[in-house]
Chain A
Amino acid sequence: MNYSFDFQSVTRNLGPLFDGLAVTLQLTVAANAIGLTLGFVLALLLMSPWRLMRLPVTLFVEFFRCTPALVQIIWFFYCVPMLFNVFLGSITMGILALGFNLAAFNAEAYRASIQAVPREQLDAGIALGLNPVQRILYIVLPTAFRASIPVLLTNGIVIFQQSALVAIVAVQDLMYQAKSLATQTYRPIETFSVAALIYFAVSFPVTQLVDYLERRRLAVAG
């Protein structure tokens, strides 16, 4: 292969890529805001003693966990407007699709760590006279929330990467900008390599942070 690399064609055009990154980060932050809050509410509903409350939530969570994110995004963009006659702007629709997807995964993370709080901790709470609400507020949630942080962060960074999928419905994120730049410059190798590097540069510190938190948690538990 005698391809001569020309990274300047990309470095000259970093502006649009960074504009795209800003949109990507906006999608990520907003989706995480939905994912962290809605996910928590969903987790509580998943553990509800009433089956009528659990059933729809289980369906919601399993729908988002068991279908490809790409299909969910396309469904949001094309089917929701046709079925319900609403379209809220492409970024908002992207945020909702990614946010609901993340909420489903985070709900499972919250549920797992809430249920992993040892029964003995609750017994100790009863023995100390704490009422059920106090036991949840002061024992279960702080312990469970700490335990779920690594998974929540991992899910959050996965959504950062999944957000590249919204380029397909013309949200002008990093991936979208990279695609148009590659078409303009006829330099797909250089453009997509730089785009990948930008995704990597954001994700890598977070995965390292997750590793660090995991190690520290294991050290504390041991």
Chain B
Amino acid sequence: MRDQPAAPLVSASGLQKSYGALKVLKGIDLTMKPGERLVVIGPSGGGKSTLLRVMMGLETINGGSVTLAGKPYIRAGATPARTVIDIAVRRSIGMVFQHYTLFPHLNVMQNLILAPCKVRGEKKAKASERAAALLSRFGLGEKLAAYPSQLSGGQKQRVAIARALMLDPKLMLFDEVTSALDPELVGEVEQVILQLAKQDMPMMIVTHDMWFAKNIASRVLFCAGGVIVEDGPPEQVLGSPKEERTRDFIDRVFHIRQ
């Protein structure tokens, strides 16, 4: 797939992130083309969630920069406290978290329209209309007035995905969005993400679910020890990894799952 060098959607270079003396990201370079679906796998503490949080601009960084559609929006300063983040660019990235993070005092509809109304100044009626359409597409048409506490984990996570989509993101980040779910609820959330994949939504997904990784990825990154150890198509990284560390990890994961 390297014959036509499409302009990258995302380009990160030299990303470094430390928590005190602990280096979590040790210089990560990464480019992502439009329409690509990157799945990031790897052991806990390997830096994959941190990588996603950095891309979202939730973390300060010690070195490096990230651009989105050619526009640099995260750049390390002299100290982590001086990390420069372009908020306007960041707004075109959506993110869904492991623990739903719906706002508990707002119902489903209010959760969805809060940001469009407050951030973009969209009219409430217009935003509600879009929200209702999105929710019924995700099988949540009945839940507009429900509060998060009245929903199952799978429903909450689908609402969270819909909420992120309300801002028409150019890139979606999914951070272990099925890890907190009961096993029987995982499928309904993954179906929604697969639906987005069919519409060519560019996405970066951190997951421990290898079945899902195989199904949705156009590219898989194996991230461990703060670096990208292996980067390639899913058949390669999940099927016949080149690197020994990747092989060890894949073997262990599939053993546990047997």
Q: Which residue on B lies nearest to A219, using beta carbons? A: B149
Chain B residues closer than 8 Å to A126, beta-carbon distance: 56-58, 90
Interface secondary structure of A, over-half rule: helix
State which residues 180-235 of B face A: CB under 8 Å: none
In the complex, what residues of A have CB within 8 A of residue B57's CB?
Answer: 126
Indicate the member of A120, A131, A222 with the most B CB atoms within 10 Å.
A120
Closest chain-A Cβ to B248's Cβ sits at a distance in Å of 31
Q: Does A183 belong to the interface (CB within 8 Å)?
A: no
Q: B149 to A221, Cβ gap below 8 A?
A: yes
> Does A197 count as interface, using CB distance less than 8 angstroms?
no
Q: How far is the CB of A105 from chain B (nearest CB, A)?
A: 24
Which single member of A123, A130, A220 contacts B118 (CB below 8 Å)?
Answer: A130
- With beta carbons under 8 angstroms apart, the residue of B99, B114, B149 that contacts A128 is B114
Given contacts A129-B87, A130-B115, whether A123 and B163 have CB atoms under 8 Å apart is no
Total interface residues on B, CB under 8 Å, equals 27
- Give A221 to B100 CA distance when docked, in angstroms: 13
Chain A neighbourhood of B149, CB < 8 A: 219-222
Q: Does B47 contact A (CB under 8 A)?
A: no
A121 at the interface (CB under 8 A from B): yes
Decide yes or no whether B240 CB sits under 8 A from chain A: no
Taking the complex as formed, is B162 at the interface, i.e. its CB lies under 8 A from any CB of chain A? no
Within 92-138 of A, Cβ neighbours of B (below 8 Å) are at 118, 120-121, 123-124, 126-131, 134, 138
**Is A142 interfacial (CB 8 A cutoff)?**
yes
Q: Take A127-B164, A129-B87, A129-B167 as given contacts and tell me if A146 and B101 are in contact as well, using a CB distance cutoff of 8 Å.
A: no
Known: A129-B90, A129-B119. A124 touches B167 (CB 8 A): no
Given known A-B contacts A127-B94, A127-B164, A143 and B99 have beta carbons under 8 A apart: no
Residues of B within 8 A of A131 (CB): 87, 119
B105 contacts partner chain A, Cβ-Cβ < 8 Å = yes
Chain A nearest CB from B153 CB (Å) reads 13
The CA-CA distance from A123 to B53 in the complex, in Å, is 9
Give Cα A179–Cα B149 distance, bound, in whole angstroms: 51
Asked if A120 contacts B97 (CB within 8 A), the reply is yes
A33 interfacial by beta-carbon distance below 8 Å: no
* Across-interface contacts of A130 in B (CB, < 8 A): 114-115, 118-119
Chain A residues, CB < 8 A from B167: 128-129
Tell whether, in the assembled complex, residue B103 and residue A143 are in contact, meaning their CB atoms are under 8 Å apart. yes
Name the interface size band of chain A.
Answer: 20 to 34
A131 to B56, CA, bound (A): 14
**Residues 37-94 (chain B) with a chain A CB within 8 angstroms:** 53, 56-58, 87, 90-91, 93-94
Asked if A120 meets B87 with Cβ closer than 8 Å, knowing A128-B119, A221-B149, the reply is no
Selected from B101, B163, B164, the residue in CB contact (under 8 A) with A120 is B101
Most buried by B among A127, A138, A143: A127
* Residues of chain A lying within 8 A (CB to CB) of residue B164: 127-128
A121, B119: Cβ atoms closer than 8 Å: no
Q: Is the CB of A124 within 8 A of B105?
A: no
Partner of A127, one of B56, B103, B104: B56
On whether the beta carbons of B163 and A128 are closer than 8 Å, the reply is yes
Is A142 touching B118 in the complex (CB atoms < 8 A)? no
Minimum-distance CB pairs A-B, first 4: A124-B101, A128-B115, A127-B95, A129-B91
Q: Which residues on B are within 8 Å of A, measured CB to CB? A: 53, 56-58, 87, 90-91, 93-95, 97, 99, 101-105, 114-115, 118-119, 147, 149, 160, 163-164, 167
List 24 A–B pairs whose Cβ atoms lie within 8 Å, in order of A's numbering. A118-B101, A120-B97, A120-B99, A120-B101, A121-B101, A123-B56, A124-B95, A124-B101, A124-B103, A126-B56, A126-B57, A126-B58, A126-B90, A127-B94, A127-B95, A128-B115, A128-B163, A129-B90, A129-B119, A130-B115, A131-B87, A138-B118, A139-B103, A146-B105
